[in-house]
Structure 1
Amino acid sequence: MSLDSTTNAEVAAEADAPPAQSDLDRKINQLFPGVVVRKDLVKAVKGNAIVPSYVLEYLLGQYAASDDEATIQAGIDAVRKVLADHYVHRNQSELVKSTIRERGRHRIIDRVAVTLNEKDDVYQAEFANLGIKGVLVEPATIKAHPKLLTGGVWCICDIEYFHSEDQRVVPWILGSIKPIQLSNFDFEGYLAARREFTTEEWIDLLIQSIGFNPELFGRRAKLIQLVRLIPFVERNYNLVELGPKGTGKSHIFSEFSPHGMLISGGEVTVPKLFVHNSNGRIGLVGYWDVVAFDEFAGNKKRADKALVDIMKNYMANKSFSRGVETLGAEASMVFVGNTSHTVPYMLKHSDLFDELPESYHDSAYLDRLHHYIPGWEVDTIRGEMFSEGYGFVVDYIAEVLKSMRTADYSDRYQQHFTLSPDISTRDRDGIHKTFSGLMKLLYPHGQATREEIEEILRFAIEGRKRVKDQILRIDATMADVKFGFTDKAGTWSPVTTLEEQEYPTYYDQRAALTPEEPEGDATPVSATTEVRAPVAVAPEVPVVVEPAPFEGHREFQENQRGISYETLLLPYLREATEITIIDPYIRLPHQGRNLVDLLALLASAKDAADEISVTLVTKAETGQYEQAHLLMLKDIQDSAAAAGINFAVTWDETIHDRSIRADNGWTILLGRGLDIFQKGSGSQYDLAARRQEFRQVVAFGVTYIHGEGGL
């Protein structure tokens, strides 16, 4: 029996059982009682109700915010009953209208939008699913809930019915209305509870609150997800994310918070977004914390130039004009869209903003963006990635983030680090805003170590550098910038983007100053170009000098691609006849496949008539998986023998570090052993399942030593 089949059998046997609580889940419930909910419950209660997650979690927070299974089940039943009795399905609107008429009064859950009828000088509500409009709304209600005027808010309402002989009188009467969002919370209690969590635990809590299983995300992937929350906690934050389809780019802005508005990029107009000059009504930026543009990419799309100009001014100055009057607003702007080309293709032929409409593919507009999320690093969303653990009820964390928008944490790094002096004011603003946002998300209590501050400072700099480096490809007049920081000891730390490390040949390009400028004979040298002395050779006989393998230490970042055993390990194992692989964890199926990949590479690289010996030093598996472990290694041994590799296993329960030692004099110290690749989609049709260079890696280091370290 294989490990996979055993696991599947266990899952099948426990299919109806509630998920086991982790230590983190118990801690979450202990420190945040009543404001957390099990995240898989949303699916359990949603059914065919087309409502945002925050609406469902609002109800779950009322009835099922507990870790007691009986209370949870009772809460689920209660929420289902509330939805059955009060949520309005479009195809049942006439039935609900009849219920209101017969009862005289009925409570409903619906999306409500209010407009001002200037002719009669009254506010009138329209109910999206119920299909009624012209319902009178008191001015006091609008004053208390101004967002009702900006396209619709999910509400719990009491609707009354009173028929009149006057045909002009609408029979529907609004008895009460309550937008679905938290009314108050204890911020000091939030900070006190945060102090009880480690940084890793807190990040996992936030990831679970978004709805994802943190065990399937690396540290960098988690930070990328959390950057999507910065617009909710930071005023006037301008964020862009471009990447492949299906990575959840717009999910947070439509489902996560009642303070965010997601609109299609093609549906926005100046009056809708900023101000309607004919009646003076303020647009979306005056009422929402976050305005996100979905499907923003598409270089064939046409954009209103007036809108682009006003948007540029607003993104830079936080203000816009209404006639002769200048108005300010705090809404953050988010632009998300799909890419149709790979990163190296875009870097070779254009830039990473290649997909934007022409009007936005402009250096002045792009320079106002504070951070560029590399959407190509985000994995396609799969069912297994959703969390069954506990996270904050969405409306609770949404109010927490909203309350922190006025705080400024942008200077918290200055006790340890100083930014490069040639970073411009606009670059500095982008870095500061991202850093401040991540500080408020991760360390709202202000307690972070030097290493933790450095981590998010690097991340903030990288996101702004990604923006600036692409602008340099578009506008040659922009000054080049050295992105990095100096610590108090004066040590300079440069910051690079991940794609800069992956594709240096294509990355280091910038716009020419003039089209007529002669190319000359000199070849420009980038920061990553290795300068070598010319080698004198006889003109008749070309000489190819094979470079010696690198000796020393290298670090690889999470999500990096283009890495394979062929480039990472094989150059150091050529000509070796005896190789020892020391790795205590060759137990799970994917770890066995990693080992097979390396053995297959060694077999293909040697002469078919030669044999080599490979010894694996590892720890033995015990318990129920012991037999499966032995069978896996025996299968590997038999398969390797057919390819001329004598594979043997030595058991050693004391080993911890991982390395590869060869009799050609090379020792390779592998921090994570062979297990350097992230879990893929699992599809047999995924290219990454066939070629390692298409996979993303976890963060790891490798050290190459020649000489004494060899066998």
Structure 2
Amino acid sequence: MDSLDKKLNEVFTGKVVRKDLVHHIKKAANVPSFVLEFLLSKYCATDDPAEIEAGKRAVLEVVESNYVRPDESNRAQSKVQQQGRHKFIDKIHVKYYERERRHWAEMENFGSKRIAINEKFYKENEKLLEGGMWAEVTIAHNDIEEDNYAFYIEDLRPIQLSRFNESIYFEGREQFTRDEWIDVILRSVGLNPEIMDNPPAEIKDRFPSGLRLKLHFISRLIPLVQNNFNFIELGPRGTGKSYFYSEFSPFSTLLSGGQASTATLLYNNARRKVGAVGFWDNIAFDEVGNMKIKDSDTIQIMKDYMANGRFSRGQEVIANASFSFVGNIDQSVDQLVNSYEHDLFVTLPKAFDLAIQDRFFFFLPGWEIPKMDNKFFTESFGLITDYMAEAFHYMFKHNKDYVDVVNKRLKLGASVQGRDELAIKKTVTALVKIIHPSGDPSEEEFNEIVEYAIEGRRRVKEQMNKRKPDDEFALINLSYFTSDGEERVVYCPESRYAQATQNPRKTEENSAAFKHSDTSPIDKKEVSINTIQEKKVSLEEKRFKVYYGDTGYSYETVFKDYLVGASEVVLEDAYVRQRHQILNFLRFCEILVRVGDCKKIKLITCADDDVQQKDNTLAFDQIADNLFDHGIEFRFEFSKTLHDRELKLSNGWNIKMGRGLDYFQSLGGNYLQIGISDYDLRPCLETSFDIYKVR
């Protein structure tokens, strides 16, 4: 055990378990993690390796013998009838039936809704009456034919906690630093925080590390502690998006298959019963891109519910369940943020219009989370899953004290509008609950939470701003004030320097000049001046790499913003010599014509031999005649020693290019392909760009 293991065992004695044992057994037994942890704490409460192995075998035997799977209900009932009694592991509910004036138990996978139960069981375990609980249940068969039931409960031992003492949890948290407690939470859900601090070389340069990566995982837990929270995560497959909602908490449910109806989700008019929103803390929608809405009015009712936690369906319904939408995104994120036509919500179903999107409080960038494999799973101790889930459930129901802390300390900037403020405050409140459940974070710790919350909301607003033709969502520069009055604007790292996201085209009329998102509309008479000033302010030095097969890197996307204000352009590229390379250069010249600021172009290139130089001279002369008609003087020269490929602009920007202008894959002579005209759709060769300011 390391120091954190020892401290955790000392502070939370009896409430911890070795998480690697859960992971190992999980491979052989598809049982909820909190059920396995209950059995492990019973059979593997030791440090002796031999006893642990024996305990693991015992756990598997118990699962094999006692865990009921939904498709085995008939066999389970038959076993009880034949043997007289049998012990099962199942989720059990108890309901009071008014007409019969008695309680009946129902076991989910056992398949019986009419099981007799002694009142002592539900008096000792109130959760049986409040949504049910997992338990070891001994079911006996009733042989008296006159009775109106076949089974009764002989014994019941809860797997979940029957009661939760919040003061012990809060006092225990105080024994840990902020960073230690974050690691405790990550270990408790089975993850290895050490690898997030020191990632392996193969992912080190492609994903964030340290606190940011840890916050990404922790933010998946937000809907479990914050009521009526609308969360969305889009990212690659295999990053564990749905795991948190299917395994971590018995108060959360995962809806797979993409089906959603008003009756099952919200309210069943025929039965006059509240749907899933009335029974769960969190409802997660897996594969949201494939989500199918059965009823035409489901989306409208969802909008009402997501806005304020209530809706009317013949009668007003108030509920607290949060919504989590998780799905895949297969497109290149860099391509999407630099596209004027597409955005990061591209995979959402069409029914998810701007009204639904505006109700998302936090957008987790799933592309910043590496794919899960064995090295990401911890071998250390963590809090028993059910104990952590109970703590989260307690905080889910208690908001006031946390809201008071946030309202007292948080001051947001002028660009933060109504729904922005609600989203940010709810996210900050949730993260304070998870990381600082019993006290106020320090100023630095609080600001880190605030910035992370604002970023998650800004990511939502940026996508809506790209979609909306007017300026309704144009105030994307969300900010907050520190305690000393400094205003800090928060950006999303993937889109900070993407002009297509920061200044999206609103209409064809102003497509050549984009206004700043937080300014008043630009007067048409001042378009060119204001645009140049905006570009100078917003453009930054950067280096980036394009990988083989990437799309979304047309000349317009890569170069256009930096060409604004450049009256003279010098291109040094030794490989403007083949026919397709000359056509590439001509396409680049077309960008310069459209920008409208360039007056002089100079090309320095090479030729394979005298014949090619003579032929290319004729081609360049034709280009020069065409450019002259557009008010641009074009000069060219051939060099025998040129090697570097660089673009030098009179506005002070230089762009070094690994492959020059020739970085697109060949179409192999087939010109009936997508990408022949739109270079943003043409796959690239591997190359790199270094854009820097000459000082």
Is this contact kept in 2: 1:36–1:66, CA < 8 A? no
Specify the code of the residue in structure 1 equivalent to 2:472. M
Is this contact kept in 2: 1:305–1:359, CA < 8 A? no
Is this contact kept in 1: 2:222–2:431, CA < 8 A? yes
- For residues 445 and 225 of structure 2, the distance between their equivalents in structure 1, rounded to whole angstroms, comes to 19
- Does the C-alpha gap of structure 1 residues 97 and 374 become closer, same or farther in structure 2, counting only changes over 3 Å? same
- Corresponding position of 1:41: 21
Q: CA deviation at 1:104?
A: 1.9
Which of 137-146 and 263-272 deviates more? Answer: 137-146
- For residues 458 and 415 of structure 1, the distance between their equivalents in structure 2, rounded to whole angstroms, comes to 17
Q: CA deviation at 1:322?
A: 3.7
Provide the aligned C-alpha RMSD in A.
3.9
- Does the C-alpha gap of structure 1 residues 70 and 351 become closer, same or farther in structure 2, counting only changes over 3 Å? same
Pairing partner for 1:171 from 139, 150, 156? 150
Pairing partner for 2:493 from 491, 498, 505? 498
Specify the code of the residue in structure 1 equivalent to 2:426. K
Normalising by structure 1, report the TM-score. 0.67
- For residues 463 and 110 of structure 1, the distance between their equivalents in structure 2, rounded to whole angstroms, comes to 38
- Corresponding position of 1:386: 377
- Does the C-alpha gap of structure 1 residues 148 and 416 become closer, same or farther in structure 2, counting only changes over 3 Å? closer
Pairing partner for 2:633 from 536, 540, 550? 540
- For residues 142 and 34 of structure 1, the distance between their equivalents in structure 2, rounded to whole angstroms, comes to 25
Q: CA deviation at 1:307?
A: 0.9
Pairing partner for 1:266 from 236, 258, 265? 258
SS of the aligned residue for 1:37 comes to: strand
SS of the aligned residue for 1:429 comes to: helix
- For residues 57 and 692 of structure 1, the distance between their equivalents in structure 2, rounded to whole angstroms, comes to 50
- Corresponding position of 1:181: 160
CA offsets 1:571-610 (integer angstroms, 9 cap, x no match): 9xxxxxxxxxxxxxxxxxxxxxxxxxxxxx9xx99xxxxx
CA offsets 1:51-101 (integer angstroms, 9 cap, x no match): 111211122234445656677556545534532442235787676545423
Q: CA deviation at 1:430?
A: 0.5
Is this contact kept in 2: 1:462–1:495, CA < 8 A? yes
Is this contact kept in 2: 1:154–1:179, CA < 8 A? yes
Pairing partner for 2:362 from 368, 371, 375? 371
Which of 216-225 and 126-135 deviates more? Answer: 126-135
SS of the aligned residue for 1:158 comes to: strand
- Does the C-alpha gap of structure 1 residues 182 and 505 become closer, same or farther in structure 2, counting only changes over 3 Å? same
Q: CA deviation at 1:368?
A: 1.0
Is this contact kept in 1: 2:68–2:89, CA < 8 A? yes
Q: CA deviation at 1:160?
A: 1.2
- Corresponding position of 1:612: none
Specify the code of the residue in structure 2 equivalent to 1:263. L
- For residues 42 and 26 of structure 2, the distance between their equivalents in structure 1, rounded to whole angstroms, comes to 15
- Corresponding position of 2:181: 202
1:257 matches 2:236? no
- Corresponding position of 1:79: 59
- Corresponding position of 1:422: 415
Which of 531-540 and 290-299 deviates more? Answer: 531-540
Is this contact kept in 2: 1:302–1:358, CA < 8 A? no
- For residues 706 and 477 of structure 1, the distance between their equivalents in structure 2, rounded to whole angstroms, comes to 35
Is this contact kept in 2: 1:343–1:352, CA < 8 A? yes
- For residues 282 and 30 of structure 2, the distance between their equivalents in structure 1, rounded to whole angstroms, comes to 22
Is this contact kept in 2: 1:114–1:148, CA < 8 A? yes
Normalising by structure 2, report the TM-score. 0.68
- Does the C-alpha gap of structure 1 residues 309 and 147 become closer, same or farther in structure 2, counting only changes over 3 Å? farther
- Does the C-alpha gap of structure 1 residues 126 and 706 become closer, same or farther in structure 2, counting only changes over 3 Å? same
SS of the aligned residue for 1:357 comes to: coil
CA offsets 1:351-408 (integer angstroms, 9 cap, x no match): 2111111111x11111111100111111111122111111110000001111112134
- Corresponding position of 1:316: 307
- Corresponding position of 2:327: 337
- For residues 92 and 263 of structure 1, the distance between their equivalents in structure 2, rounded to whole angstroms, comes to 22
Q: CA deviation at 1:508?
A: 2.1
Which of 380-389 and 102-111 deviates more? Answer: 102-111
- Does the C-alpha gap of structure 1 residues 286 and 330 become closer, same or farther in structure 2, counting only changes over 3 Å? same
1:31 matches 2:21? no
Is this contact kept in 2: 1:35–1:396, CA < 8 A? yes
Is this contact kept in 1: 2:127–2:162, CA < 8 A? no
Is this contact kept in 1: 2:261–2:293, CA < 8 A? no
- For residues 183 and 112 of structure 1, the distance between their equivalents in structure 2, rounded to whole angstroms, comes to 13
- Corresponding position of 2:431: 438
Is this contact kept in 1: 2:653–2:693, CA < 8 A? no
- Does the C-alpha gap of structure 1 residues 122 and 196 become closer, same or farther in structure 2, counting only changes over 3 Å? closer
Is this contact kept in 1: 2:277–2:320, CA < 8 A? yes
- Corresponding position of 2:481: 486
- For residues 329 and 433 of structure 1, the distance between their equivalents in structure 2, rounded to whole angstroms, comes to 17
SS of the aligned residue for 1:499 comes to: coil
- Does the C-alpha gap of structure 1 residues 518 and 47 become closer, same or farther in structure 2, counting only changes over 3 Å? closer
Specify the code of the residue in structure 2 equivalent to 1:239. F
Q: How many residues align?
A: 539
1:471 matches 2:471? no
Is this contact kept in 2: 1:232–1:402, CA < 8 A? yes
- Corresponding position of 1:298: 290
Specify the code of the residue in structure 2 equivalent to 1:409. Y
- Does the C-alpha gap of structure 1 residues 133 and 279 become closer, same or farther in structure 2, counting only changes over 3 Å? closer
Is this contact kept in 1: 2:480–2:487, CA < 8 A? yes
- Does the C-alpha gap of structure 1 residues 303 and 173 become closer, same or farther in structure 2, counting only changes over 3 Å? same
- Corresponding position of 1:346: 336
- Corresponding position of 1:613: none
Pairing partner for 1:359 from 333, 351, 360? 351
Is this contact kept in 2: 1:29–1:67, CA < 8 A? no
Is this contact kept in 2: 1:411–1:432, CA < 8 A? no
Is this contact kept in 2: 1:123–1:137, CA < 8 A? yes
CA offsets 1:298-326 (integer angstroms, 9 cap, x no match): 38x45533111111111111112241x31
Q: CA deviation at 1:163?
A: 3.8
- Does the C-alpha gap of structure 1 residues 417 and 115 become closer, same or farther in structure 2, counting only changes over 3 Å? closer
Pairing partner for 1:216 from 178, 190, 195? 195
- For residues 441 and 237 of structure 2, the distance between their equivalents in structure 1, rounded to whole angstroms, comes to 35
Q: CA deviation at 1:350?
A: 1.6
SS of the aligned residue for 2:495 comes to: helix
Is this contact kept in 2: 1:303–1:357, CA < 8 A? no
Is this contact kept in 2: 1:124–1:135, CA < 8 A? yes
Q: How does 1:603-618 map to 2 (within 5 A)?
A: none
- For residues 169 and 380 of structure 1, the distance between their equivalents in structure 2, rounded to whole angstroms, comes to 53
- Corresponding position of 2:625: none
Q: How does 1:386-405 map to 2 (within 5 A)?
A: 386-405=377-396
CA offsets 1:190-217 (integer angstroms, 9 cap, x no match): 2222222222211111111111111222
Q: CA deviation at 1:511?
A: 6.1
1:450 matches 2:443? yes
- Does the C-alpha gap of structure 1 residues 178 and 145 become closer, same or farther in structure 2, counting only changes over 3 Å? farther
- Corresponding position of 1:623: none
Q: CA deviation at 1:261?
A: 0.9
SS of the aligned residue for 2:258 comes to: helix
- For residues 363 and 705 of structure 1, the distance between their equivalents in structure 2, rounded to whole angstroms, comes to 39
Q: CA deviation at 1:455?
A: 0.8
- For residues 441 and 494 of structure 2, the distance between their equivalents in structure 1, rounded to whole angstroms, comes to 28
Identical pairs, percent: 36
Specify the code of the residue in structure 2 equivalent to 1:208. R
Unaligned runs of 5+ in 1: 1-20, 552-566, 572-600, 606-689, 695-703
- For residues 278 and 330 of structure 1, the distance between their equivalents in structure 2, rounded to whole angstroms, comes to 22
SS of the aligned residue for 2:391 comes to: helix
- Does the C-alpha gap of structure 1 residues 480 and 356 become closer, same or farther in structure 2, counting only changes over 3 Å? same
- For residues 285 and 191 of structure 1, the distance between their equivalents in structure 2, rounded to whole angstroms, comes to 28
Is this contact kept in 1: 2:415–2:479, CA < 8 A? no
- For residues 91 and 54 of structure 2, the distance between their equivalents in structure 1, rounded to whole angstroms, comes to 27
- Does the C-alpha gap of structure 1 residues 281 and 413 become closer, same or farther in structure 2, counting only changes over 3 Å? closer
- Corresponding position of 2:229: 237
CA offsets 1:595-626 (integer angstroms, 9 cap, x no match): xxxxxx9xx99xxxxxxxxxxxxxxxxxxxxx
